[in-house]
Amino acid sequence: MTRIALIAHDEKKPDLVEFARTHESQLRDYDLIATGTTGKRLLEETDLDVGRKESGPLGGDLMIGAEVAAGNLDGIVFLRDPLRAQPHEPDISALLRICDVHDTALATNLESATYLIEGLAE
């Protein structure tokens, strides 16, 4: 089964929830994991089944990076706030590096996220 991770900076969590609602029928076919708070929001605000890792500040982004390194993820949607990211929020640089090393797709905005999930469906 196709497995993707969902991560969002605080200011982008509403966008990720809306993205998940819009693409719920497609995302339902995937095995989904998310960082703690993002996963909680998705579980509460959608009908998707989402496995939760730790919150970003507690290492959830690193746990997702480990999933990439182990070959357990087909892609990541990380909606980041390029202008107002807070110090406690996950840093994308480590995820970018591990995704590049393991040739794993990483989407950082809504448009590329749409391409990612549609591409994985094919």
Domain count, the chain: 1
Of residues 37, 11, 26, the one with CA closest to residue 113: 26
What is the rounded CA–CA span in Å between residue 15 and residue 41? 11
In this predicted model, what pLDDT tens digit does every residue of 72-85 receive, in sequence order?
Answer: 999 999 998 877 76
Does 25 belong to an annotated binding site? no
List Cα–Cα distances, 56 to 49, 97, 111, in angstroms: 19, 17, 23
Q: Which residues sit opposite 4 in a β-bridge?
A: 32, 75
pLDDT of residue 83: 75
CB-based contacts of 110, cutoff 8 Å, min separation 6: 15, 19, 79
Does 22 belong to an annotated binding site? no
Range of the domain at 74: 3-121
CATH number of domain containing 16: 3.40.50.1380
Tell me the pTM: 0.93
Choosing from 29, 61, 74, 81, which is the catalytic residue? 61
In this predicted model, what pLDDT tens digit does every residue of 20-71 receive, in sequence order?
Answer: 999 999 999 999 999 999 999 999 999 999 999 999 889 999 999 999 999 9
Q: Is 100 a catalytic residue?
A: no
Is the pLDDT score of 90 beyond 70? no
